[in-house]
Amino acid sequence: MAAPKKSAAKELNAEKGEGAVAEFTKEQELRALRDMLLIRRFEEKAGQLYGMGAIGGFCHLYIGQEAVVVGMQMALKLGDEVITGYRDHGHMLACGMDPKGVMAELTGRRGGYSKGKGGSMHMFSMEKNFFGGHGIVGAQVSLGTGLAFANRYRGNDFVSITYFGDGAANQGQVYESFNMAELWKLPVVYVIENNRYAMGTSVTRASAQSDFSKRGASFNIPGEQVDGMDVRAVKAAGDKAIAWCRAGKGPYILEMQTYRYRGHSMSDPAKYRTREEVEKVRHEHDPIEQVRNRLLAAKVSEDELKAIDAEVREIVNAAADFAQHDPEPDASELYTDVYR
């Protein structure tokens, strides 16, 4: 009897050494700190503006999950595509989109990335290769697979970084996409941001298989679980997954184990978890504090860190100021951009 054929996933598991962390230079640590701080402060400000009524509708904050996008962004190269769901502010800032344009979209102003027509959940930047910003849970997974399809069709070596949450991971089209991605060896890294709650439903109450790295197993897609609170671990996993895709080996799944400090959206009853649970993660695993502590231990001065803080705060304040004073879109914009 022939020996059972080793799957790509098994082969990889043998060599992958899960839990690896990238060695960061001081410059990388500082960049990670700055980029994560920018997201944190931006989101805090967005929360405040929402409270003041300047931002309407739905507003999903990324606070707590910053290491995921920042680490992944450090692993990809110019030309790779990024696409995500509606908790998208962090992804846009990590892609280098202008905080003013993002904040002005949140307030529905003409200087917003979508001229005020998209809002929090629907923003795009062709210039920064950010493909949205999608409001329907799971839809971005098929779309991100399509971005990878385009790379394959064109014969380039770019990779589609397709983010979705533990909630979206239960949508049918995710698996339809997994199947096609592996079948056609599409260069897509599926980054599952497992923040433990799909709106108010915990992973254990929604998922028969809560190890999301195994969700591609029946399609032979390799996957691994990553400490999504440690930006170095994210970067290391991202490097490996992206290299796999770039080499033409097909898709790769990274389950980022992370945590959302704030509610699902702004009107979250917060009845489904305890304050202690949130506080424990904050105090023991905060992605920003981890970097800050490492930098301090490496004798980087408090002043240098404070300067980063101040710079970030200034950027965020300027964005908030712009977003509150930029005019609303002109009424004539009502009928533009329906067709081109």
Partner 1 sequence: MPIQVLMPALSPTMEKGNLAKWLKKEGEPIKSGDVIAEIETDKATMEVEATDEGTLGKILIPEGTADVAVNTPIATILADGESAADLAKAAPPAKQQKAAESAPPAEAKKEAPVSPAPAVPAAPQAVAVPEPEVPEGTEMVTMTIREALRDAMAEEMRRDPDVFIMGEEVAEYQGAYKVTQGLLQEFGARRVIDTPITEHGFAGVGIGAAMAGLKPIVEFMTFNFAMQAMDQLINSAAKTLYMSGGQMGCSIVFRGPNGAAARVAAQHSQDYSAWYSQIPGLKVIAPFSAADYKGLLKAAIRDPNPVVFLENEVLYGHSGEVPKLDDYVVPIGKARVARQGSHVTIISWSMGMSYALKAAEELAKEGIEAEVVDVRTLRPLDTETIVESVKKTGRAVTVEEGWQQNGVGAEIAARIMEHAFDYLDAPVLRVSGKDVPMPYAANLEKLALPSAAEVVQAAKAVCYR
Residue 78 engages partner 1 in binding (rule: CB under 8 A):
no
User: Measured in whole angstroms, how far is the alpha carbon of residue 135 from the centre of its chain?
Assistant: 14
Nearest distance, CB of residue 2 and partner 1, angstroms: 27
Residue 145 engages partner 1 in binding (rule: CB under 8 A):
yes
Q: Mask: binding to partner 1, 37-66, rule CB under 8 A, as x and -?
A: ---xx--x--xx-xxxxx-xx---------
First-to-last CA distance in the chain? Answer: 61
Residue 113 engages partner 1 in binding (rule: CB under 8 A):
yes
What type of residue is 295? L
Residue 116 engages partner 1 in binding (rule: CB under 8 A):
yes
Of 4 and 53, which has the nearer Cβ to partner 1? 53
**Which residue in 38, 94, 123, 189 binds partner 1 (CB under 8 A)?**
123
Q: Mask: binding to partner 1, 260-279, rule CB under 8 A, as x and -?
A: --xx--xxxxxx--------
Residue 296 engages partner 1 in binding (rule: CB under 8 A):
no
Residue 239 engages partner 1 in binding (rule: CB under 8 A):
no
Alpha carbon distances (Å) from 119 to 14, 82, 88, 143, 246: 44, 18, 11, 20, 33
**Which residue in 19, 79, 248, 327 binds partner 1 (CB under 8 A)?**
327
Neighbours of 281 (CB within 10 A): 17
Report the SS3 class of residue 106: helix
Judge whether 140 and 121 are in contact, CB under 8 Å. no
Residue 109 engages partner 1 in binding (rule: CB under 8 A):
yes
Judge whether 174 and 164 are in contact, CB under 8 Å. yes
**151 phi and psi angles, rounded to 5 deg:** -60, -45
Judge whether 165 and 87 are in contact, CB under 8 Å. yes
Nearest distance, CB of residue 114 and partner 1, angstroms: 4
**Which residue in 11, 176, 302, 304 binds partner 1 (CB under 8 A)?**
176
Residue 310 engages partner 1 in binding (rule: CB under 8 A):
no
